[in-house]
Structure 1
């Protein structure tokens, strides 16, 4: 990576961390510059506005989080997939490094304030829901059921992460694991699949 690309990437990483932890509106350009140890001129060389940076941040979140989840999902059954990502979330929470789902955290905040970039965050959520569908199908759930079940499980996932963010209580990440696995097996039993 070239030095200019490294600087831009570092700026995006810092903004992503701050938006996820502190929120989009609470994170000003000066705070991003302070965290990244970059000058205002450097910021404006790469981005015209904070909104433009927020659009780059969603790409960063997608790369980091989606690639991580996709890696966990390779040839993995639903239950193991859930245990793997919830275990990592619990570790990060114990270290003070987990703040909920960044797509939802930032996406909810910008939904009305920045309506032109909000669709990118909504699309990122749908990408994760589609990954859930794929893992369900590779776990033996027929495609005629995978969308319905994935939507239900994804709602549980986001709901428990939202409760965790608000309370900072890791019990909600534990609930996330229990609910995602329990609901999966309950659905399969009810529908005999």
Structure 2
């Protein structure tokens, strides 16, 4: 969708996400977001009281996007095993689409103060949701945690190496763990 056709709140969220991804949360100022989203300062503050509130909005929107993509990738898979393995396709897709920028949640987590509970709680809820989805699919808590840790590790390592090999290797390990 063309950003110009979006409502101001959505333009702000899209612009902030792109800038956070490209240059980091702490290096992105509100004035830059306002300028690049082409909104008035009053419009920005009508939707978001602070940069922290904007960050929460960005992460909530990102969570929704991840959920939608995961649903699309797993919808046609019949078995729990195939759904779990397909979840690694999401990492590959995001790596290709976003040039190996990694997990937006972990990137922001690394930049916020440890006592920023408002943002940390959103990140924690997102990660807990992923972990719980593996538990729901596999019906085995220890195995689900192994898969979750491989999933998260594949995301981080593919960002570091700027390559899909960690995702592909994690997918193979998960395949053998589930068998």
Q: For this structure pair, what is the TM-score category when the shorter chain's length is used for normalisation?
A: 0.7 to 0.9
Task: Write the mapping of 1:21-60 to structure 2, written as runs, cut at 5 A.
Answer: 21-60=22-61
* 5+ long unaligned stretches in structure 2: 1-5
Secondary structure of the structure 1 residue equivalent to 2:111: helix
Question: Which residue is equivalent to 2:89?
Answer: 84
Question: Which residue is equivalent to 1:123?
Answer: 125
Residues matched between the structures, number: 171
Deviation at 1:158, TM superposition (A): 1.8
Runs of 4 or more consecutive aligned structure 1 residues displaced over 6 Å after TM superposition: none
Question: Which residue is equivalent to 1:182?
Answer: 172
Task: Check 1:82–1:55 CA distance in 2 against 1; reply closer, same or farther (3 A cut).
Answer: closer
> Distance in 2 between the 1:86 and 1:47 partners?
30
* 5+ long unaligned stretches in structure 1: none
Secondary structure of the structure 2 residue equivalent to 1:27: coil
> Distance in 1 between the 2:172 and 2:156 partners?
19
Cα displacement string for residues 140-165 of structure 1 (whole angstroms, at most 9, x for unaligned residues):
x4x1x2x2222222222222322333
- Superposed CA RMSD in Å reads 2.5
TM-score (norm 2): 0.81
> Distance in 1 between the 2:8 and 2:108 partners?
23
Deviation at 1:81, TM superposition (A): 0.8
Task: Check 1:116–1:39 CA distance in 2 against 1; reply closer, same or farther (3 A cut).
Answer: same
Task: Write the mapping of 1:1-193 to structure 2, written as runs, cut at 5 A.
Answer: 6-76=7-77, 77-78=82-83, 81-82=86-87, 84-92=89-97, 96=99, 98-110=100-112, 112=114, 114-134=116-136, 137=137, 141=138, 143=139, 145=140, 147-167=141-161, 169-170=162-163, 173-179=164-170, 181-189=171-179
Deviation at 1:83, TM superposition (A): 5.8
